Amino acid sequence: MNQPAYYARTGSPGREILTLLHPPYTMWHLSYVAMGAAIAPRLDWIYLAGTILAFLFGMGVGAHALDELHDRPLGTNLSRGTLITLAVGGISVAAGLAVAGSVVISPWVAAWGMAGVLLALGYPLEVPGWLHTDLGFGISWGAFPVLVGYWAQTQGLTMPAVALAAVATLISMTQRLLSTPARFVRRHTDQAGATFDLGTQREHWGQDRLLDTWERPLRMLAWAMALLALVLLSLHL
């Protein structure tokens, strides 16, 4: 039986909870928050930590637990009660951080927090439907964290921040375009392959090589986004 994702781990509740977080993609997503903050003229590391924690709990934990509760894409054995606890707990922590930010930074943090909660609920439940399109994914998981990361530092938006958000949207759409066929092969087929007619001979790719054409770029992009975020942050040291 195929693993539902290349990073999926089974055997214990702890390993399944770790899988539930989609570690490479959550790291990628949090990197956008850091990038948004890093292009601000001045960087408040405490504000950055709070913003990253809000996204980690709200989107990394809450939204992913809700997604698993909705239709079990990872096929974990985690109970319904565990998933509900993770979903409610993650989103509640994120909302609590937004409330704290509205006191410390600006009342407008509450508005950003509410938008984040709506995305954390709407994307896994596919309501409204456009959120589950390539563009909806790009905006939710790419543009939004960039803009929040930048706004938390400056309490405003600029054209460079909007431009970076557009870049993050396109990269996130690329992520989805690569991951969609890989998920299909892993989750909906028992075996897959491709045969290429080269004229005088044929070349066959087995399932592992086929998956590699999508998943190797995904692995590399995840680490590249994290490294880029660290490079940009290092400019403020």
Q: Which amino acid is at 196?
A: F
| pLDDT, greater one: 131 or 230 | 230
pTM listed for this prediction: 0.95
Q: Which residues, 6 or more positions from 46, have their beta carbon under 8 angstroms from its beta carbon?
A: none
Look at residue 237 and tell me whether its pLDDT is greater than 80.
Answer: yes
Mean pLDDT on 20-37:
97
- Per-residue pLDDT, averaged over 10-31, amounts to 94
Q: Give the pLDDT confidence score for residue 130 in this predicted structure.
A: 87
Q: How confident is the model at residue 2 (pLDDT cuts 50, 70, 90)?
A: confident
On the question of pLDDT at 1 being above 80, the answer is no
162-202: pLDDT as tens digits: 999 999 999 999 999 999 999 999 999 989 999 999 988 99
- 38, 92, 123, 128 from 99: Cα distances, Å: 23, 10, 22, 25
Concatenated DSSP letters for the chain?
---SSTT---SSHHHHHHHHT-HHHHHHHHHHHHHHHHTSSS--HHHHHHHHHHHIIIIIIIIHHHHHHHH-TT-----HHHHHHHHHHHHHHHHHHHHHHHHHT-THHHHHHHHHHHHHHHHHHT-SGGGGSHHHHHIIIIIHHHHHHHHHHHSS--HHHHHHHHHHHHHHHHHHHHHHHHHHHHHH-S---EEEE-SS-EEEE-HHHHHHHHHHHHHHHHHHHHHHHHHHHHTT-
Q: How confident is the model at residue 56 (pLDDT cuts 50, 70, 90)?
A: very high
Q: What is the mean pLDDT of residues 24-32?
A: 98
Cβ–Cβ < 8 Å for 87, 25: no
Quote the pLDDT of residue 129. Answer: 85
Q: For residue 11, what pLDDT band results from cuts at 50, 70 and 90? A: confident
Confidence of residue 126 (pLDDT cuts 50, 70, 90): confident
Lowest mean pLDDT among 7-16, 30-39, 94-103, 210-219: 7-16
pLDDT of 117 reads: 94
Query: What is the pLDDT averaged over residues 80-105?
Result: 96
Mean pLDDT score of the chain: 95
